Structure 1
Amino acid sequence: MTILFVLIRSMPGTFISQMITPEMKPAQIARLQEQWGLNEPLWRQYVDFMINYQTGNFGRSPTKQVPVWDIIIRRFPRTIILFGAGFVISYTVGPLVGMYLGWWRGTNKDKFIYTSGLTMYSMPAFWISWLFIWLFDYKLQWLKSAYMVDQFGVQDWTPMVAMGSILHHIALPLFSIAFVGWVGSMLVMRPSMNNVTGEDYVFLARAKGLSERTVLMKHAARNALIPVATQAIVGLAFLVDGSVIIEQVFSWPGIGDMLVSAVFAQDYPITQAAFFLLAVMIITMRLVTDIAYTFLDPRIKFGGE
């Protein structure tokens, strides 16, 4: 948080600069600075900043003229919906594909999917997004590429109409996230699965006469998932970073879009709150992953047991 405070205030100018008009007198400008606490010494601003954020007080947006919490309450669920769904899809498809590729490593199908996955993984998210917009919105006109719901032309909003509009708009950004996101977990699951196929418990399961599907799903896959759980933290961090790009490209009204607008407007309260919430998302996911370890690996227990 200290680094965040320093970086934001290292930007040239302040949001007060955008409020000043040629007709304003120095006394009026000084009153504005006093109103927003910018006349205080930097150390005092830092102390107030830390106290407020420890108590969840994000303050009031100078550019929107509303409490920051009001903006967050509207936008945060939209980011969770989009990137939560993207995370679930990526870490469902990726481990499943990696599991089968690791089990039948060296086949033509494995080589083709592995090479295709690496190609997808090397593509920038913004380039993929623009490509999908051009193909599915501009050329084919199958999906919508902007906003969360239809902005015009809807006369009678019902829950079903609203849900259909959301699904129509979320499909393209969600597809863009999953298109690249699944590859990371696949690249970890594939060698991990290949390693566990040589373990004694796999040979023992086969010796008992269990089917290949049972050996694969019940005995090998569970242990191969442990490295994937670790990689999920990195994957989530990339998704959070990608939220800024994806939401900007698709005009998705979430935290990432709010963050970019706030940075350009030098809106300190919104910028600080957005970074804070994105950090909380990553820390929370790390906690969930640590808890998931105890289910994937029985050797790991709470309390150092």
Structure 2
Amino acid sequence: MSRISTRYLAKRLVVSYLTLLVIMTILFVLVRSMPGSFITNMITPEMHPSQVERLREIWGLNEPLWKQYTNFMVNYQTGEFGRSPMHKEPVWDVIIRRLPRTLILFGAGFVVAYTVGPLVGMYLGWWRGTSKDKIIYTSGLTMYSMPAFWIAWLFIWLFHFELGWLKSTYMVDQFGVADWTPWLAMTNILHHIALPLFSIAFVGWVGAMLVMRPSMNNVTGEDYVFLARAKGLSERTVMMKHAARNALIPVATQAIVGLAFLIDGSVLIESVFSWPGIGKLLVGAVLEQDYPVTQAAFFILAVLIIVMRLVTDIAYTYLDPRIKFGENS
């Protein structure tokens, strides 16, 4: 029998949808509160006032604010993001071209951070108080206190300028069509993604470790751990199959917070490394006051976080058999 309550799942979907509506409303207000307008860059001194008014009409800026808000809410829920005045093409085309690049970089960073972090936290929590635990824990806290953009600049200085091992800008080199091969594309992307990925994972794994370590330490005294040992199971089996599974539950909660921080960090990391993703696109759109792209980029990031939060809730039921999704104990 499934531990997921269909009724509660439906409620969570409704709450997620309402949360998205609230975020969209706040986004609309914040973007419209920015000084100036993107059509300012289109206006020249020679233009007649009627031409300026025509520009405002084309971009819907002459309509009442309530109507702009209604159009915004309806269009964005149907996937209609409008056109970008900066890129001169549909916003959706701009987003869909940049989004996979952000997902590749930060998806890889998330996987690395939340593979290394829980594993290190599992061992430190199991052998808490040892000299190895103290050294790694202190080193992790030191890393966690460092700003991600400072780490990025440090890596660029060391691995690009001093050693010349890795690329520090863009996603790929420029090749002629005749020179482009699948192998060349893969190796070139790996060569470029290494530094930003190291910068993300260098700090990101510590958050998962800091949650997993005390959680692992707490479950070492549980009855099922003593029972597993009494059965004659090896220490490694008891640690990984019995203790670690239950200790992972708080890490699943922290993972969604970590994902949100990674996505927020996309603006800084992508700007430092000139990575052509959503973060760098967002910076350019804000500076150019490109309302459609700014709104769409924030909207996509909000959808990703809300979806991941819902997936995390569902994942609880598979991490802990005692949890019944949406049912009272």
TM-score (ref. length: structure 2): 0.91
Which residues of 2 match residues 1-305 of structure 1 at below 5 A? 1-151=24-174, 156-302=179-325, 304=327
Shift of residue 154, structure 1, vs aligned partner: 8.7
Shift of residue 151, structure 1, vs aligned partner: 2.9
Which amino acid letter does the alignment assign opposite residue 67 of structure 2? R
Which amino acid letter does the alignment assign opposite residue 163 of structure 2? L
C-alpha RMSD of the superposition: 1.2
Distance in 1, matches of 2:87 and 2:326, equals 47
**Which stretch shifts more, 290-299 or 265-274?**
290-299
Distance in 2, matches of 1:177 and 1:50, equals 34
Deviations 1:17-76 (A, max 9, x none): 011112212111111111101111111111111111111110111111100111111110
Gap regions ≥5 residues in structure 2: 1-23
Distance in 2, matches of 1:169 and 1:162, equals 11
Distance in 1, matches of 2:138 and 2:176, equals 44
Distance in 2, matches of 1:154 and 1:35, equals 39
Gap regions ≥5 residues in structure 1: none
Distance in 2, matches of 1:8 and 1:188, equals 36
Distance in 1, matches of 2:161 and 2:174, equals 17
TM-aligned CA distance change 1:123 to 1:201, over 3 Å: same
Structure 1 SS opposite 2:179? coil
Report percent identity of matched pairs: 82
Deviations 1:143-171 (A, max 9, x none): 00100001368961111111111000000
Deviations 1:114-151 (A, max 9, x none): 00000000000110000000000111110001000013
Deviations 1:191-237 (A, max 9, x none): 00000001111111111111100100110000000000001111011
Structure 2 SS opposite 1:205? helix
Distance in 1, matches of 2:249 and 2:70, equals 42
